[in-house]
Structure 1
Amino acid sequence: MRTLFSGEVRLAYGQFYIWSAGRNSLEDSFAGQRAGMCGGAVPGHLYLVTATHTGSAPITVELHETEPPLDADVWEDIVEVSFRPASADVWLMEWDSGWYPLPLSETSYQVRYHCRGMDEARKALRDPGEPVVEEYLLRFWPSPPAPDRVVKETSQYAAYWHEFARKQPPGPTPEELAEAERQAREREAYIKMQKEMDEWGGRLPSDRLRGVRDKLRRIKGYPMGLVGLDAALVHAIDAAGPEEQRALARWAAHRACETAGLSEIDWVVRGLAELDRGEPYSPPLDDLRRLRDAVLSEARVPRSHDGSPGLPQVAAFTALFDAAAPDPLKAALDTLLATAVTHDTNCPHLFAEVRRTFPVMAIAPEAERSGRQ
C-alpha cells in the first residue's frame, strides 16, 4: 500500500475532485449511478462530495495492489465506483486553487470512498488545526470496471446524495460517446478545411503549395501575399510545373526591373543575363546584405523624396533576388508578388499579361473535389 496524499484539503461548495482531463459537472458525474457521494460517470473524473460547505477537512488517498479490507466498522458511509485516468497527469484538485499530483497509471481502478462525521460536520464550522469533525479516505486498486454500489449507509447526508444520484438519468453509452467524438472530429476537420479554403481563395491548395506556404516572402502592405491579389493565378502557377514556374520567375524579374527603371544599370543587366542562363549571380546579387549596400550606394537607382530608394525599386531588387531561389514554385510566387508591388494599382494588367505570355496559367486547375466544397 502507498499513501499518495494525506493532509488538509480546502473545501468550497462541499466538493473536491480527482481530475485527469477536460471538465465535468455535478449532474453528469452522477448520471445513472445508484451511489451518491462519489460521482464517477464522467471518464477521467471523480466528483467527491463533502459535508463541509466551506472550510477544510483531512483527506487521505491510498493506492493498493489488491482490494483492501472493507473496514466497515471504522467508517460510517462507504461507496464504490470505477475510475480510469484519461491522461498520465492525475490530480487531487480543490474547487478553486490547490492541485496535488497523484501518481496513478492509465489503467482501470476500483475506488472506495470512506466518509465519517458528515452529519456532525453539517452543523459545525472547522478551521485547519481544530479537532476533526469529518474525515475522508479514498482507496484505489487495479480492477476491471464494475457497477457503482453503496457499501454502507449511515448518515442522513449520504442518504440525501444517494437519492440525488438515483434521480439522474443515465449518461451516454460508450457507443454514443464514440459517435459524438467522431462527429466532433469531423466538425473540427470541416472547420479547418473551410479556413484553409478561405486562406487560398476559396479552394484547397495542393501539397506543394502547403509545403511552401510558410516560406513565401511577406511584403508590407500585402498581408495575403499573391493569393490576396489573384488566387486563381496562384493555383495555375502551382499546376504549371517547374519549367514554367522558372520561366515565369525570369520573366517577372525582367518586368520588375524595367518597370522600376533599373534596366540601364550594368550590374542589374548582368544579373538578368545570369538569371536567364541559369548561372549563379555574381556580386552584388549573390548576397542579400551586399545587394542592399549596392542599392544604397548606386546613384542610378531612382529615389523617393527623402533620398532613399523608392518602393518600386526596392520591390524590383527583391524580385531579382527571389527569382534565383532554388525552389521554382517559391521563386515564381515571390518574384511575381514583388513585381506586382512595382506595378502598384496596375496589378490586374500585369496578371493579364502573365496569362497571355504563359497560356498554361490562363485557366486555374479544377478545384479538388472533397464532397464539401
Structure 2
Amino acid sequence: MQWETDTMQVAYRLYYLVGKDSDIFHREKDATDRALASNSLAAAAPEHLTVITGTHTGNIRLSVELRSDEPEPPAPQWETAIDVSLYSTSGRLWLSEWAGELIDTAGNLAHAGSGWYRVRVQARGRDRGAAQGAVQAWVEEHQLTIWPAAPDHDKVHWVTDAFGLHYYDPQRPTASPVYPADALPWAIRTDNVRIRAWAEQLGYDVQGQDRIVAAIHAASLGKPSAGSPAL
C-alpha cells in the first residue's frame, strides 16, 4: 500500500505517528532530544513516533509505504535514512500533525495488528526547509516505510544533510527500542498501592494502565520490575 500527500502540515519541525493507546503511556518530553541525539531524524516509543523536519512550519511532501517484509536498502537520493522499532499495543497507528490532527486518509498504519514494527524514515530537503523556516509549497520530502519486525536498535543508514549533521554523532551508540513496560510512568506501573493511589489522585489513567499492563504481560513483553521503595 502506498499513500502520498504534498500537504502534510508540520509545526515546530515535528509530526508524529500515534496509536489509540498513546495517551496511556507517558508522553516522553525528551522525544525530540532523543531523536536529535541518536539519529537526528526520529525517535520511537510504544504507540508513538516523533519525526523531525527542517521545515519549521508549513507543508512537506510525505509518502507512506506499508510492507510485509523489510524493504531494499535506501536509495541514494535520500539525504538521511534511519530505521527504528515501534511497538503497537492497540493495533492502531495514525499519522498526526503537531497539533494532534489525525490524517485519516492515510489509514491505519499498524497493518499487521498489535506488535512490533520497524519504521524506515527517509528525508531530503531538510536544509532547504530549515533555511526558509515557514513555507506554503513543500521544499522538503519524507518517506515512511513500515513493516512488522522484531525489535532492534536504531539503524542509521546515513546522515548527510547539514541539518542532521549538526546533531548526529556517529561515535554515539544507537538507541535501543523502548518496550511498553518501560514507557509507562513509574508511579502507575509500580505494585505499591500508595503510589498508585497518589498517581490516580494526580489524574493518571489507572484503569487504562491495568488494561495495558495486562496486554503487555499477555504478549510476554513486560520486563521484570526492580521493585519500588516503601513509603
- Offset, 1:82: 0.4
**What's the CA shift for 1:114?**
0.4
Three-state SS of the structure 2 residue aligned to 1:108 is strand
Distance in 2 (CA, whole Å) between partners of 1:172 and 1:47 is 13
Report the CA distance between 1:88 and its aligned residue.
Answer: 3.2
Kindly indicate whether residue 69 of structure 2 is the aligned counterpart of residue 63 of structure 1: no
Instruction: Please point out which of 36, 39, 63 is paired with 1:35.
Output: 39
What is the Cα deviation at residue 157 of structure 1?
0.7
Aligned to 2:165: 159
In structure 2, the residue matched to 1:54 is 57
After TM superposition, the structure 1 = structure 2 runs for residues 250-261 of structure 1, keeping only pairs within 5 Å, are: none
Q: Is the aligned partner of 1:108 residue 2:116?
A: yes
Q: Equivalent residues in 2 for 1:260-275 (5 A)?
A: none
The one-letter amino acid paired with 1:66 is D
Greater RCO (CA < 8 Å, at least 6 residues apart): 2
Tell me the distance in 2 between the aligned counterparts of 1:171 and 1:95: 23
Out of 165, 182, 192, the position equivalent to 2:189 is: 182
User: Alpha-carbon deviation of 1:159?
Assistant: 1.6
1:79 & 1:134 partners in 2: Cα distance? Answer: 17
* Structure 1 residue 61 displacement after superposition: 1.4
1:97 deviation in Å?
4.7
TM-score, normalised relative to structure 1: 0.44
1:98 and 1:184, CA in 2 relative to 1: closer, same or farther beyond 3 A?
farther
Structure 1 counterpart of 2:122, which letter?
H
Q: Which stretch shifts more, 184-193 or 8-17?
A: 184-193
Asked if the contact 2:155/2:174 (under 8 Å) is kept, the reply is no
1:6 partnered with 2:14: no
In the alignment, structure 2 segments of 5+ residues that lack a partner are 202-231
Task: Flag the structure with larger Rg.
Answer: 1
Give the conservation status (yes or no) of the 8 Å contact 1:31–1:168.
Answer: no
1:31 Cα deviation after fit: 7.5
Aligned to 1:19: 18
Q: Match of 1:318?
A: none
Counterpart position of 1:242: none
Deviation, structure 1 residue 94: 0.7
Deviation at 1:115, TM superposition (A): 0.4
Q: CA deviation at 1:16?
A: 0.4
- Of 131, 134, 137 in structure 2, the residue corresponding to residue 123 of structure 1 is 131
Deviation at 1:123, TM superposition (A): 1.3
Aligned to 2:91: 88
Q: Is the 8 A contact 1:32 1:169 kept in 2?
A: no
1:153 shift after superposition: 1.3
Distance in 2 between residues matched to 1:97 and 1:170, nearest whole Å: 26
Amino acid at match of 2:84: V
Does structure 1 retain, via aligned residues, the 8 Å contact 2:13–2:52?
A: yes
Partner of 1:71, secondary structure, is: coil
Cα distance in 1 for residues equivalent to 2:37 and 2:160:
19
1:43-70 Cα deviation digits (max 9, x unpaired): 2211100000111111111111111122
Structure 1 spans left out of the alignment, 5+ residues: 195-373
Residue identity matched to 2:114: E
Percent of aligned pairs with the same residue? 26
Give a deviation string over 1:210-243, Cα, whole Å, max 9, x none: xxxxxxxxxxxxxxxxxxxxxxxxxxxxxxxxxx
CA distance in 2, matches of 1:93, 1:185: 35
Shift in CA distance, 121/192, structure 1 to aligned 2, threshold 3 Å: closer
Q: What is the CA-CA distance between 1:124 and the residue it aligns to?
A: 2.0
Residue type matched to 2:164 in 1? A
Tell me which protein shows more helix as a share of its residues.
1
* Residue number in structure 2 paired with 1:274: none
Q: Does the 8 Å CA contact 2:36/2:42 hold for their aligned counterparts?
A: no
Residues in 1 aligned to 2:198 and 2:29: alpha-carbon distance in whole angstroms: 31
More strand per residue = 2
What is the alpha-carbon root mean square deviation over aligned residues?
Answer: 3.6
